Structure 1
Amino acid sequence: MKPLAGIRVLDLTRVLAGPFCTALMADLGAEIIKVEPPQGDDYRHIGPFVDGHSALFALTNRGKSSVVLDLKTAEAQALARQIAATCDVVVENFRPGVAAKLGLGADALRHENPALIYCSISGFGQDGPFSDLPAYDIVVQAMSGLMEANGEEGGAPLKVGEALGDLMAGLYAAWGIAAALVGRAQTGQGASLDVAMFDALFSLLPTSHAIHFYAKSAVERVGNRHPLSTPFGAYATLDGHAIIAVLGDRQFAALCGVIGVPEAASDPRYATDATRTQNEPALKALIEAWSRQHTTAQAVEALRGAHIPTAPILTLAQAANSPHAAARGLVSDLPHHGLGTAPIIGQPVRFNGEKPVASTGAPALGGGSRDVMAALGLTETQISGLIAAGIVRAT
């Protein structure tokens, strides 16, 4: 099932947030025309590399056609507007105001194509006091409240290892575009979407929101445990750590039985989730008196036997090579112009039991330029002239 089949997208994005958004749409069948500058998307030049090809670019640009336009020229800007007139969706992640200066802003393109869905992705949004600030993921993690809540208890703030600001902005953008397409089907009108990395990350902190807005308390770093529920975290074993996630009195009583202290379930210090959290150090010591006598595998097996949510902490290699990941089809190998095949991690949702992914890997720089120009009605002579002038590049 390809629910976005027939949807045409002009992708004016680079690096991560925008390309991640349009890659998700490519998985679901949308036609993605990716416009790149003559030097290509910045991610083409960021490692790790395999035979000269960027892994990051390959992972986030599957299923797209690459058109190279030098948007510093009026001729290229006019060509981009022609492409936009044939599209259902435009996605851009220029700095706020830059697209409009290029004649590619929402107002200009939607004036010519009122049904167009125009999605702008930026660090801090199209307006507001921070809108002009340069924003990489770590900047947004720092300013959203995420870093302040993340880290070891008593330690310094820590960024999350992945670029969650970019990824979540891309995910929200794809979600917003899909919703706008449904709205357009009902009204015939397009929409202008403003997606900010800052807004996206800020919206994803419900535990911190509960502590700040409802409990009226400061958000504090607590490491690998939950700030509101206990026991809910990583506990030391003979050879590493086991995750134990208990929510509710029934599960806590079961845990007490597994670790050999059933009487702890009736201890007033551990009577409720709140009191267990207040007495977390003592409870942790009680649990680790048991868990440190067992390997992680032994501890997990015992806890699972009592239906207590638990897990070992896996490496990415272990997760990727697990039989469950294989059964769920989490990794796909797609045809790639330079590598033969390339592994990608497609969108994860199954539609009627099937997981749609793009049919091709990331494109060669300018690999689709001639076909897209021809589809606009340009002759081979005109296309060759644009290439000779450096306005268009094709491979």
Structure 2
Amino acid sequence: MIKPLEGITVVAVEQAVAAPYASSRLADAGARVIKVERPDGDFARNYDRLVEGQSAYFVWLNRGKESICLDLTIEEDREILAIMIAEADVFIQNLKPGSMEKLGFGSGNLRKRFPRLITCDISGFGDGGAFSHLKAYDLIVQAETGLCAITGTAHGPARVGVSVCDISAGMNAHTAILQALLLRESTGQGTAIQVSLFDAVADWMNVPVLQFDYSGYETKRAGVNHPSLFPYGAYRCADGKDVIFSVQNDREWVIFCDKFLKQPELTRRFADNMQRLGNRAELDQIIVARFSEISSNQAMAELEAAGLAYGRLNQIEDLSTHPHVRRIAVSTPQGDIDMIAPAAIFDTVKSPAFRPVPALGAHSEAIRNEFGPQSRRSMNKEPGRAER
């Protein structure tokens, strides 16, 4: 079965999470992704050794790629990279700001030489501004964007439990590259794309920023509760288990008071969300008392009967065996790994196949033979027009 990006070649000088996320999704769609690693490898290979002696991060984000080790301080290896880029459709990099420019592979220069090439630079803070020269990792950007300030409890801020800045930047890069490929179909021209971790998550912060800018409303850290919708959060039941439930609008509030709390008169005193937020402490006492009287199963049954949204406050082990988790098998250097499937489901693909996670430098010899100076490939070919 032909995949949508078959025939597209991506060269990725990448490390960690953000760029590998974007290129892994391109690889899933059929693109040839050549991952350029230092001689000692992408440092994400050594984040942990918890998946059959391999890094969970690396196994997750590097399936379907070819790995070549290049020392870009050596002219011969830079020449190989140059030939690869000359024949690529997409070039992705997320090294320290300025690194690729110093090596002669800045996106501005590449775009002039190869008008059909799509370049994507991923950084912490973008190409300009006071912080643009700094290294920036996920937690640093979570803190800088104010995400930590609204995450956690009244006792203090917290990091979101997964690398959301990296992931968001990777998602934005993936989307932008697909847009650029579509644009090239009609214009024949490539695009230079910049994505920063800061911009990716700052966009996600629009709601608390808009609320503050226009009303002075300051989002409070609310633990496992919604900061600006009430009631919406976790409540402990008689069996010691927590149930999450949500009231999204005033109609649901009426139902909740009548069917679950058995106190319909509350709807007259606290008719809308702003009134409920303003009297949160008083209402919370009533809601906490009701949940504490019944088991979690009874609470969920009553919420479902009332047509209200609910869920369980699951642990990682609960997710691992969750009935809605879909899994895929991916080959790695240490054997097949069972992992959670990517989110998109296509009705044209019944049993998607995912290519292996590469060992460090697994394709170095073959790629050097293919793109090395001895191959006599022309560096004047336009990207997307190379022989396949």
Same fold (TM over 0.5): yes
Aligned to 2:385: none
CA separation in 2, counterparts of 1:86 and 1:296? 59
5 Å matches for 1:81-120?
A: 81-120=82-121
Aligned to 1:344: 339
Q: Is the 8 A contact 1:115 1:184 kept in 2?
A: yes
Quote the offset at 1:195 in angstroms.
0.5
Aligned to 1:204: 204
**Secondary structure of the structure 2 residue equivalent to 1:333:** strand
Aligned to 1:388: none
Letter of the structure 2 residue corresponding to residue 25 of structure 1: L
Quote the offset at 1:356 in angstroms.
8.0
Structure 1: gaps of 5 or more residues: 383-395
Structure 2-normalised TM-score?
0.91
Quote the offset at 1:24 in angstroms.
1.3
**Secondary structure of the structure 1 residue equivalent to 2:336:** strand
Quote the offset at 1:12 in angstroms.
0.4
**Secondary structure of the structure 1 residue equivalent to 2:293:** coil
CA separation in 2, counterparts of 1:25 and 1:69? 22
Aligned to 1:387: none
Aligned to 2:331: 335
Aligned to 2:17: 16
Aligned to 1:261: 262
Are residues 260 and 59 of structure 1, via their aligned partners in 2, closer, same or farther at CA, if it must alter by over 3 Å? closer
Q: Sequence identity of aligned pairs in percent?
A: 33
Are residues 379 and 81 of structure 1, via their aligned partners in 2, closer, same or farther at CA, if it must alter by over 3 Å? closer
Q: Is the 8 A contact 2:98 2:133 kept in 1?
A: no
**Secondary structure of the structure 1 residue equivalent to 2:67:** strand
Q: Is the 8 A contact 1:24 1:346 kept in 2?
A: no
Q: Is the 8 A contact 2:236 2:291 kept in 1?
A: yes
Q: Is the 8 A contact 1:48 1:54 kept in 2?
A: yes
Aligned to 1:27: 28
Q: Is the 8 A contact 1:348 1:355 kept in 2?
A: no
CA separation in 2, counterparts of 1:126 and 1:344? 35
**Secondary structure of the structure 2 residue equivalent to 1:342:** strand
**What's the CA shift string for 1:233-270, capped at 9, x where partnerless?**
111212121111101122112111233423234332x1
Are residues 247 and 52 of structure 1, via their aligned partners in 2, closer, same or farther at CA, if it must alter by over 3 Å? closer
**Secondary structure of the structure 1 residue equivalent to 2:199:** helix
Are residues 49 and 227 of structure 1, via their aligned partners in 2, closer, same or farther at CA, if it must alter by over 3 Å? closer
2:127 is aligned with 1:126: yes
Aligned to 1:218: 218
Aligned to 2:141: 140
Letter of the structure 2 residue corresponding to residue 206 of structure 1: N
CA separation in 1, counterparts of 2:342 and 2:26? 9
**What's the CA shift string for 1:264-295, capped at 9, x where partnerless?**
34332x11111011111111111111111122
**What's the CA shift string for 1:132-183, capped at 9, x where partnerless?**
1221111100100111111213x21111111111111111110111111111
Q: Is the 8 A contact 2:303 2:309 kept in 1?
A: yes
Q: Is the 8 A contact 1:59 1:343 kept in 2?
A: no
2:157 is aligned with 1:161: no
5 Å matches for 1:177-326?
A: 177-238=177-238, 239-268=240-269, 270-325=270-325
Are residues 266 and 108 of structure 1, via their aligned partners in 2, closer, same or farther at CA, if it must alter by over 3 Å? closer
Letter of the structure 2 residue corresponding to residue 343 of structure 1: D
Aligned to 2:366: 371
**Secondary structure of the structure 1 residue equivalent to 2:152:** coil
CA separation in 1, counterparts of 2:80 and 2:340? 33
CA separation in 2, counterparts of 1:162 and 1:355? 30
Quote the offset at 1:51 in angstroms.
4.3
Q: Is the 8 A contact 1:62 1:358 kept in 2?
A: no
Aligned to 2:73: 72
CA separation in 2, counterparts of 1:195 and 1:355? 33
CA separation in 2, counterparts of 1:257 and 1:34? 59
Are residues 9 and 344 of structure 1, via their aligned partners in 2, closer, same or farther at CA, if it must alter by over 3 Å? farther
Quote the offset at 1:345 in angstroms.
3.4
Equivalent pairs, count: 374
Q: Is the 8 A contact 2:257 2:267 kept in 1?
A: no
Q: Is the 8 A contact 1:232 1:246 kept in 2?
A: yes
Are residues 56 and 159 of structure 1, via their aligned partners in 2, closer, same or farther at CA, if it must alter by over 3 Å? same
Aligned to 2:386: none
Letter of the structure 2 residue corresponding to residue 376 of structure 1: F
Q: Is the 8 A contact 1:152 1:223 kept in 2?
A: yes
CA separation in 2, counterparts of 1:37 and 1:12? 9
Are residues 204 and 353 of structure 1, via their aligned partners in 2, closer, same or farther at CA, if it must alter by over 3 Å? farther
Letter of the structure 2 residue corresponding to residue 205 of structure 1: M
CA separation in 2, counterparts of 1:353 and 1:209? 41
Structure 2: gaps of 5 or more residues: 377-388
